[in-house]
DNA sequence: CGTGCACTTGACAGCTGTCAATGCCGGTGG
DNA sequence: CCACCGGCATTGACAGCTGTCAAGTGCACG
C-alpha cells in the first residue's frame, strides 16, 4: 500500500508493469521514522541524499543568513525528497518533518540504475520533476503577485488537489498538518498576519481552518481568490519512451 | 558557436563526445526570430511546445485572472524553453522576448528519442531540470522572505552568475536586457518601487543599474543583502550513467 | 497544577501600492 | 529640420497591507 502510494505520481503518466514495479521497490531501503519538528537533513549537508516519503508530511525549507525561514514545498507520501539538491555539491534545502514521518533513503547508485536500465522509468521521473517545477512556479507567482488571503487560497487549493489525488474520497473537509506558523512560512508572511487572514476568510464563509482541520466553504470563491488557472497533467506523453519494454536483467545490477 | 552555447549547461556535469554532440545538434530545427516584446507562445496554448534559445533574452511569465503578471524566470542563450509545460496538457506559462531573440523549435518526438537512445544525455537533461528547480526555489525564498532591495540584490547576483558561466570575461559591469518594469515583475513589486530601490542602492554605492547597464559596486554588500548561500554544481554525478557509451544507430531513429 | 506550544488580540511603525503628473529620449512623419 | 508620439524613467502625496512588539488565552501533557 505504501509502495503503491510512492509510485502513484509516476502512474499518472503511464501504466507500470511488473518489471517497472520491481525496479522501484528495489529503491526502498530500511525505514526511518522522524518526529514532528525534527530535520531529516540540513541545507549545506554534503553529499546530498535522496529519500522516499512513505508516511506523514514533510517540508523543504530554506534559511536566510538573518534567520528568516521560507518553506518551499510541502511533501506528501509518495514524494521524492531531496532530488533538486542532487545537481549540487551540497544540500540546497533542509527537510523538516511537519508530522511524524516515515522515510526510506534511496542510494544514489540505485537511483542512477533506473536511468541506466529503464528509459521508461527515467522518462516518468523526468516528467514528475517537470511537474514539480510547475508547482513551485505557481507558488512563486502567488507569493510574488497577490496578498495574503489570495496566497492562502492558492495554497489550500494546491494542497487539496494533491491530497485528492492519493485519496479521491476526500471531500471539502480534511486534515492539514500545518500550524499557522507553517502556513506563514509557506506563504511568506508572519504568523500574526496568517491568523488575521484566516479569521477574515472564516467570517466571509470562504474557508474554515482551525485546529489542523480545514473546511472549504466556498470553493468558487477560493478559485477566484487564488487567481491561478487549473492545471491538468498531460494525457499524452507518447513522444517519450513510456511504452518501451527493455527487459531488466537483475544479474547485471549492482 | 551557438550550438556550443546550447549544450554548455549539459557540459557542466560531464564531457560530451562526438556521438552526444550529434544527437543534440539533431534537435535544432529551423531558426525563428522574435521581436522584443512579442510572445513565442501564451499560457494555455495546447499542445505545449519545446524550444531552444539560441540568441537573446526571453522570460517565462504567468498572468493572473486580474491581469497581474509575474515573471518566473529569465532565459539566456543555451536554455531550453517550455520544458515544464511538457508534463501538462496545455502550456503553463507564456514565453516573452525581452530582447530580439532567436529560437529553434524542438520536435517532441526528437526530444523523446534522447531518452530512448542515450541514458547519458537523459541523465544530464534531468540534472539541468533539477538545477532549474533550485534556481526557482531560491527566487521563491527571496521573494517570500525579503524586502525589495534584498530581492534585487539576489536577482542581480543570480543573473551575474549565469552570465559569467557562458562568458567568463564578464566583469563587474555588463548589460542586462531588463526594464525597470521587467525587474518589478521579476521581484514581485511595482515599477515605482523598483525605481526607488535602485536609487537607494546607487546612493549606497552597492549597485548602479541604469539604461540597461549594470555596475556592481560592492559585491560583498550584495551577497550580504541577498542572504542566500552560494550554489555550487555537483562535480561528481558518477552515480548516473554519464560515462556509458551506448553507440547511436542513426538508421534506427525515426 | 505548572509548563510549553499554538493561537489570539491590540497598538503602532514601516514598507509598498496607488494615483497622477512630469521629464527624457529615440523614432516617425510632415 | 522639427513637431509629435510612445515607451521608459522619475517624483510626490497618500492610502493600505503587513511587520513588530507585547501581552494574554486556551489546551495538551507530565
CA distance B129 to B121: 12
CA distance A242 to B144: 37
Nearest nucleic acid nucleotide to A212, CA to C1' distance: C6
Question: Residue B1 pLDDT more than 70?
Answer: no
Q: What is the pLDDT of residues A56-100, one digit of tens each?
A: 999 999 999 999 999 999 999 999 999 999 999 999 999 999 999
* SS3 per residue for A121-187: HHHHHHHHHHHHHHHHHHHHHHHHHCCHHHHHHHHHHHHHHHHHHHCCCCCCEEECCCCHHHHHHHH
Question: Residue B109 pLDDT more than 80?
Answer: yes
Question: Residue A248 pLDDT more than 80?
Answer: no
Contact with chain B for residue A161, Cβ under 8 A: no
Nearest to A181 by CA among A53, A80, A59, A79: A59
Per-residue confidence (pLDDT) for residue A7, from 0 to 100: 79
Question: Residue A243 pLDDT more than 90?
Answer: no
Beta-strand ranges (E) seen in chain B are 32-34, 39-41, 50-55, 58-63, 69-75, 80-81, 94-97, 101-106, 173-175, 207-210, 213-216
Q: Which bases on strand D have an atom closer than 7 Å to a protein beta carbon?
A: 7-13, 17-22
Per-residue confidence (pLDDT) for residue B249, from 0 to 100: 45
Chain-chain contact of A43 with B227 (C-beta, under 8 angstroms): no
Torsion of CA A96, A137, A79, A188, to 10 degrees: 20
Q: What is the largest CA-CA distance in chain B?
A: 63
Element (H, E) at A6: helix A2-6
Nearest to B81 by CA among B62, B118, B115, B54: B54
What number of other Cβ atoms are within 10 A of residue A177's Cβ? 18
Helix axes B148-166, B180-187, angle to 10 degrees: 110
Question: Residue B34 pLDDT more than 80?
Answer: yes
Per-residue confidence (pLDDT) for residue A123, from 0 to 100: 97
CA distance B2 to A25: 43
pLDDT grade for B253, boundaries at 50, 70 and 90: very low
Average pLDDT, chain A: 92
Higher pLDDT, B87 or B21: B87
Nearest CB partner across the interface for A68, out of B112, B136, B145: B145
**Which chain B positions have a beta carbon within 8 Å of A84's beta carbon?**
130, 133-134, 137
Per-residue confidence (pLDDT) for residue B23, from 0 to 100: 87
B252 min Cα distance to partner chain A (Å): 14
**Which chain A positions have a beta carbon within 8 Å of B123's beta carbon?**
112, 115, 122
CA distance A185 to A180: 9
Nearest nucleic acid nucleotide to B36, CA to C1' distance: D7
Q: Would you say the C-beta of B198 is within 7 Å of strand D? A: yes
CA distance A79 to A165: 12
pLDDT grade for B3, boundaries at 50, 70 and 90: low
* C-alpha R_g of chain A: 19
Q: How many CB pairs under 8 A join A and B?
A: 212
CA distance A147 to A2: 37
Collapse the DSSP code of A58 into the 3-class scheme (helix H, G, I; strand E, B; otherwise coil) and give the result. Answer: strand
As a rounded value in angstroms, the CA-to-C1' distance for A195 and C4 is 20
CA dist A142 → A186, A192, B183 (Å): 11, 20, 17
As a rounded value in angstroms, the CA-to-C1' distance for B58 and C20 is 32
Chain-chain contact of A136 with B132 (C-beta, under 8 angstroms): no
Chain A, 73 to 92: residues with Cβ < 8 Å from chain B are: 73, 83-90, 92
Contact with chain B for residue A123, Cβ under 8 A: yes
pLDDT grade for B26, boundaries at 50, 70 and 90: confident
User: Mean pLDDT across the stretch B68-94?
Assistant: 97
Per-residue confidence (pLDDT) for residue B25, from 0 to 100: 84
Low-confidence winner among A4-18, A153-167, B12-26, B218-232 (lowest mean pLDDT): A4-18
Residue of A nearest to B9 (CA): A87
**Which chain B positions have a beta carbon within 8 Å of A129's beta carbon?**
126, 129-130, 133
Beta-strand ranges (E) seen in chain A are 32-34, 39-41, 50-55, 58-63, 69-75, 80-81, 94-97, 101-106, 173-175, 207-210, 213-216
pLDDT grade for B226, boundaries at 50, 70 and 90: very high
Contact with chain B for residue A138, Cβ under 8 A: yes
Per-residue confidence (pLDDT) for residue B7, from 0 to 100: 79
Place of cell 539560441: B54
User: Mean pLDDT across the stretch B200-215?
Assistant: 94
Q: A196: which residues sit within 8 A by CB, 6+ positions away?
A: none
Question: Residue A166 pLDDT more than 90?
Answer: no
Amino acid at each position: 500500500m505504501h509502495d503503491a502510494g510512492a509510485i502513484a505520481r509516476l502512474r499518472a503518466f503511464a501504466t507500470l508493469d511488473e518489471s517497472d514495479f520491481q525496479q522501484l521497490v528495489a529503491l526502498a531501503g530500511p525505514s526511518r521514522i522522524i518526529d514532528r519538528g525534527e530535520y531529516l537533513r540540513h541545507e549545506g549537508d554534503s553529499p546530498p541524499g535522496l529519500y522516499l516519503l512513505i508516511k506523514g508530511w514533510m517540508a523543504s525549507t530554506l534559511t536566510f543568513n538573518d534567520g528568516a525561514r521560507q518553506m518551499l514545498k510541502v511533501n506528501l507520501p509518495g514524494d521524492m525528497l531531496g532530488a533538486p539538491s542532487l545537481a549540487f555539491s551540497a544540500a540546497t534545502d533542509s527537510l523538516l518533518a511537519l508530522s511524524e514521518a516515515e522515510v526510506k533513503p534511496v542510494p544514489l547508485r540505485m537511483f542512477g540504475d533506473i536511468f541506466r536500465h529503464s528509459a521508461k522509468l527515467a522518462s516518468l521521473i523526468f516528467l514528475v520533476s517537470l511537474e514539480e517545477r510547475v508547482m513551485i512556479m505557481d507558488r512563486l507567482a502567488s507569493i510574488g503577485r497577490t496578498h495574503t488571503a489570495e496566497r492562502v487560497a492558492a495554497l489550500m487549493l494546491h494542497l487539496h488537489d494533491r491530497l485528492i489525488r492519493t485519496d479521491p474520497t476526500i471531500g471539502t473537509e480534511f486534515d492539514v498538518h500545518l500550524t499557522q506558523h507553517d502556513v506563514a512560512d509557506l506563504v511568506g508572511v508572519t504568523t500574526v498576519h496568517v491568523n488575521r487572514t484566516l479569521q477574515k476568510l472564516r467570517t466571509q464563509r470562504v474557508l474554515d481552518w482551525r485546529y489542523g482541520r480545514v473546511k472549504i466553504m466556498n470553493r468558487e470563491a477560493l478559485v477566484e481568490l487564488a487567481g491561478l488557472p487549473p492545471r491538468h497533467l498531460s494525457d499524452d506523453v507518447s513522444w517519450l519512451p513510456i511504452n518501451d519494454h527493455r527487459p531488466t536483467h537483475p544479474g547485471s545490477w549492482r
